[in-house]
Chains A and B, each alone.
Chain A
Amino acid sequence: MNPLQAIGRVFLKFLATTGRLVTFMASGISHAVRPPFYPRIIFRQMIDIGYYSLPVVGLTAVFAGMVLALQSYTGFSRFSAEGAIANVVVLSITRELGPVLAGLMVAGRIGASLAAEIGTMRVTEQIDALTTLSTNPMKYLVAPRLVAGIAMFPLLVLVADIIGVFGGYLVAVYKLGFNPANYLQNTWDFLTAEDVNSGLVKAAVFGFIVTLMGCYHGYNSKGGAQGVGRATTNAVVSASILILCSDYILTEMFFAK
């Protein structure tokens, strides 16, 4: 095949996929803001996305905080700037590592399970069955999950922030011999509302991305078990990449002066 033809084909496919995704997203959002709402399903999704993700997010955050304290100590002690460790830990966690690591971990957990669940519903005709039972599948399946994702991710990240800072504190105090009161004072002094808020906004965006990707790939899966497997992989990979890209864009918006 002509190489130009191949490039053109890939490009056209990319445009078509983007178009489908944007249409899906617009439809999902419009259904999320118009009644009927499904509070029961939204609540169940919130528990699933928020509560059941706590262990994995907590573990990720505590180790991220610990390693951050350890690494920055190695670096900063070379020019006697150990005092800045509290600052580095709290800023890194609230601005970046909290939202991004939590986002990536939950992308694996929730993105995959959404894609597998909705994908299986697609291949076993359950989505068609919804249509025949006077229920719009976008409204019943997709909209509640988007709402739950946007609502729960910031809460998860708030927890991750606290646990992450605590992880840094543990290493600083018990391994590196910092004074606990000083460390906490330093942490608090450096922290501004903007640091936390920017992280929470990022979290809401990541929550939207993860649930959207899970729903989109599941909803459009075809071809039996293999198709569902492919949808699951695509959901996790695309959500992870989009999280990292949008993280850069959001950071640029918040902090580039």
Chain B
Amino acid sequence: MSDQIQAQPKTQPKTQAKIQLRDVAKSFGRKVVLDGIDLDVGVGESVVIIGGSGTGKSVMLKSILGILTPDRGSIKVDGQEVIGMSTADREEVNHQFGMLFQGAALFDSLPVWENVSFGLLAEKRCDRGEAKEIAIQKLAQVGMNADVADLMPAELSGGMQKRVGLARAIASDPKIIFFDEPTTGLDPIMADVINDLIVKVTREVGATALSITHDMASARKIANRIAMLYEGKIIWQGPVEDIDNSGNVHVDQFIHGRAEGPIQMAVRA
């Protein structure tokens, strides 16, 4: 299965997609999580993947980031195939990524400012003095003042940690930003603050954004385009305006949050 090579489409789209997935599949043991995903994310576009818990949204994101290796398929970033790349090349590609993790994933042994400028220091783009200045600047961009720079992540609330995570994701001016359930675990007002910040900072940085969420309010706010993942496949995608008239029963059930419908939640694992 894993050595099956997929033929590439011969015709290239007019404008090259920033991220292109073709027939990406990943299984864990017998459990098929991704079952042939095709997705294009255009330059400067904000695409949101929606879907229930356990439908493989995170696995898809981690495959693009190179944290997981898909069993088959092709993932291209700027037209360059990233699957099977050498570690050094992979790191080069990852330079243009920023990622906001679900739980913020701040390094709890480092103060806030070192968290924010971690990528800059790792790439040796500046010395520690400059890095702190940049960190404070990025914190200001997400609405935090300079006082927090010297705090440890454990001293911050969940919403503040998310904002620091966001500052870290944009610190190295990434071309592509990934958001993994950016509003999960936040109260509705803080969730909206984060949504606004995401829209603002991606616009400011001019980045392409790929988010995964199951929060429809968040999806409507940050997306240009929405795609729905169900049973390891993209079952619908279209502009955010069309989401209410998708004509897809699965999508309708999901966006209205109904227990009754074609999607049956696995109550027993």
Report the Cα distance A135→B105, complex, angstroms. Answer: 14
Interface flag for B91 (CB, 8 Å): yes
Q: How far is the CB of B101 from chain A (nearest CB, A)?
A: 5
Interface flag for A7 (CB, 8 Å): no
Which of A129, A134, A136 contacts B105, CB < 8 Å? A129
**Given contacts A126-B105, A129-B99, could you give 20 more A-B pairs where the C-beta distance is less than 8 Å?**
A124-B103, A124-B105, A125-B101, A125-B103, A125-B105, A126-B106, A128-B62, A128-B67, A129-B106, A131-B66, A132-B94, A132-B98, A133-B118, A133-B119, A133-B172, A134-B91, A134-B94, A135-B118, A136-B87, A136-B91
Q: How far is the CB of B1 from chain A (nearest CB, A)?
A: 20
Report the Cα distance A124→B101, complex, angstroms. Answer: 9
8 A Cβ contacts from B100-142 to A: 101-103, 105-108, 118-119, 122-123
Report the Cα distance A156→B7, complex, angstroms. Answer: 60
List the 3 closest pairs (A to B, CB-CB), nearest first. Answer: A133-B119, A125-B105, A129-B105
Report the Cα distance A223→B99, complex, angstroms. Answer: 22
Given A125-B105, A126-B105, A126-B107, CB of A132 within 8 Å of CB of B118: no
Interface flag for B65 (CB, 8 Å): yes
Closest residue of B by beta carbon distance from A126 = B105
Interface flag for B220 (CB, 8 Å): no
Interface flag for B95 (CB, 8 Å): yes
Interface size class of B (residues with CB under 8 A): 20 to 34
Given A134-B119, A134-B123, CB of A129 within 8 Å of CB of B107: yes
Q: How far is the CB of B166 from chain A (nearest CB, A)?
A: 13
List, in ascending order, chain A residues with CB within 8 A of B118's CB: 133, 135
Interface flag for B179 (CB, 8 Å): no
> How many residues of A are counted as interface, with CB atoms below 8 angstroms from the partner's CB atoms?
12
**Could you give, for residues 54-93 of chain B, a 1 whenever the CB lies within 8 Å of some chain A CB and a 0 otherwise?**
0000000010011100000000000000000001000100
Q: How far is the CB of B205 from chain A (nearest CB, A)?
A: 15
Report the Cα distance A124→B109, complex, angstroms. Answer: 13
Which of B67, B106, B107, B123 contacts A131, CB < 8 Å? B67
Given A134-B91, A136-B91, CB of A129 within 8 Å of CB of B122: no
List, in ascending order, chain A residues with CB within 8 A of B98's CB: 132
Interface flag for B230 (CB, 8 Å): no
List, in ascending order, chain B residues with CB within 8 A of A125's CB: 101-103, 105
8 A Cβ contacts from B197-236 to A: none
Q: How far is the CB of B107 from chain A (nearest CB, A)?
A: 6
Which of A129, A135, A136 contacts B101, CB < 8 Å? A129
List, in ascending order, chain B residues with CB within 8 A of A136's CB: 87, 91
Q: How far is the CB of B116 from chain A (nearest CB, A)?
A: 10
Report the Cα distance A131→B123, complex, angstroms. Answer: 12
Which of A124, A126, A128, A135 contacts B122, CB < 8 Å? A135
Report the Cα distance A133→B62, complex, angstroms. Answer: 14
CB pair B122–A133 under 8 Å, yes or no, is yes
Given A125-B101, A125-B102, A126-B107, CB of A131 within 8 Å of CB of B94: yes
**Could you give, for residues 115-135 of chain A, a 1 whenever the CB lies within 8 Å of some chain B CB and a 0 otherwise?**
000000100111011011111
Q: How far is the CB of B269 from chain A (nearest CB, A)?
A: 14
Report the Cα distance A207→B95, complex, angstroms. Answer: 35
